């Protein structure tokens, strides 16, 4: 397949094959995997993942799992991997919930300030593990406030950051709380775990993702957030520190062009698109798409299959 990139020059997007898999395999020391649509769909492991990851480990490759889904913490993700029969260490997992906590840590967010959360357990758990005080999230999921002419909504003036991620219990109370913090608390940060429009939350459908909740807060504050998940390369700093491997020796494997592949390219990694998730071959080949991975394959297990050929 030959494609034109945005500069007008033509770029090859190669299907992964028995001929080129060796070149990719030998030039890469660490594989970075997205999870949804790559490792699993919903709660179902994608065929051949276990054997492929085992083979990569046995050949000395480093493995990292990067997910924009902020609903779980690293610990919760490790449990999910384990329940699916895939042994993965907590410190091989980089979720956007963890990224939000690390962003605050790296930027020396004061420990006496608080963080208001629109999102689920994962963000609050990671904030706590990093020594921060979070509020909101699940505990505000059933709260309701009806604006009346004589009511005044109180918010904590010590909130110095708002973190917004996917939240299935989004409501007007949380939106008003977050909006007041960002509009009225001087210097309050507005952090988005990611801006994915949708996510594969059931096997058959896309459902609104964190981009929906982030869009709501952008709409009420007229501010743009700091994004810590893909395609932002904030997490790459951690990977570089952890592995001491140049990004040109890393390969990002993902199913989304606008987050995974863009993230890999922004960081200078090789990129492999798998068609086991949201992106179809026709979407990849559509003339309106200008994000081109180095390779594409039907699924992760193709790496193993082609190496064995």
Mind telling me the catalytic residues? 34, 36
- Token pair recorded at residue 287: 């003339």
Beta carbon nearer to its own copies, 56 or 216: 216
Beta carbon nearer to its own copies, 2 or 43: 43
> 120 exposed, middle or buried (CB, 10 Å; 0-12, 13-18, 19+)?
buried
SS3 28: coil
Choosing from 195, 256, 270, 299, the residue that interacts with its own copies (CB under 8 A) is 195
Residue 288 binding its own copies, by CB under 8 A? no
Q: Is 258 annotated as a binding residue?
A: no
Question: Is the Cβ–Cβ distance between 211 and 115 less than 8 Å?
Answer: no
Asked if residue 70 has a cis previous peptide bond (ω within 30° of 0), the answer is no
H or E element that contains 120: none
Residue 180 binding its own copies, by CB under 8 A? yes
β-bridge mates for residue 183, sequence order: none
Distance CA 171, CA 140 (A): 9
Question: Is the Cβ–Cβ distance between 220 and 172 less than 8 Å?
Answer: no
Per CB under 8 A, which of residues 215..244 are in contact with its own copies?
215-222
# chain residues binding its own copies, by CB under 8 A: 48
Q: State the binding string over 21-50 for its own copies (x if CB under 8 A, else -).
A: --------------------xxxx------
DSSP 90: G
Residue 170 binding its own copies, by CB under 8 A? yes
Integer CA distances (angstroms), 254 to 102, 110, 173, in order: 23, 35, 35
In the complex, least distance from residue 203 CB atom to its own copies, rounded to whole angstroms: 5
Residue 206 binding its own copies, by CB under 8 A? yes
Residue 150 binding its own copies, by CB under 8 A? yes
| Contact set with its own copies (CB under 8 A) | 41-44, 144, 146-153, 167-172, 175-176, 179-180, 183, 195, 197-198, 201-209, 211-222
Binding-site residue ranges for substrate: 230
């Amino acid at each position: 397949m030959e494609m034109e990139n945005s500069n007008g020059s033509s770029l090859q997007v190669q299907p992964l094959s028995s001929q080129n898999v060796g070149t990719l395999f030998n030039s890469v020391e660490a594989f970075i995997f997205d999870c949804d649509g790559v490792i699993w769909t919903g709660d179902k492991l994608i065929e051949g993942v276990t054997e492929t990851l085992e083979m990569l480990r046995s050949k000395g490759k480093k493995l990292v799992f990067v997910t924009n889904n902020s609903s779980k913490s690293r610990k919760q993700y490790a449990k999910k991997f384990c329940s699916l029969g895939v042994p993965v260490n907590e410190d091989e997992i980089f979720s956007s919930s963890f990224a939000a906590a690390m962003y605050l840590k790296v930027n020396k967010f004061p420990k006496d300030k608080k963080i208001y959360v629109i999102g689920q357990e994962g963000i609050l758990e990671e904030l706590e593990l990093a020594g921060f005080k979070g509020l909101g999230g699940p505990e505000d999921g059933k709260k309701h406030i009806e604006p009346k002419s004589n009511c005044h909504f109180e918010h904590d003036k010590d909130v110095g950051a708002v973190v917004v991620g996917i939240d299935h219990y989004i409501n007007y109370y949380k939106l008003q709380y977050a909006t007041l913090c960002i509009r009225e608390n001087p210097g309050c940060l507005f952090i988005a775990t990611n801006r994915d429009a949708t996510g594969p939350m059931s096997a058959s459908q896309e459902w609104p993702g964190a981009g929906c909740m982030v869009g709501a807060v952008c709409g009420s504050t007229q501010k743009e957030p700091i994004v810590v998940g893909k395609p932002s390369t904030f997490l790459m700093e951690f990977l570089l520190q952890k592995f001491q491997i140049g990004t040109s020796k890393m390969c990002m494997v993902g199913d989304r062009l606008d987050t995974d592949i863009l993230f890999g390219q922004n960081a200078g990694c090789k990129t492999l698109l798998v068609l086991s998730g949201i992106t179809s071959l026709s979407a990849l080949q559509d003339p309106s798409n200008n994000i081109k991975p180095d390779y594409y394959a039907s699924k992760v297990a193709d790496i193993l299959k082609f190496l064995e050929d």
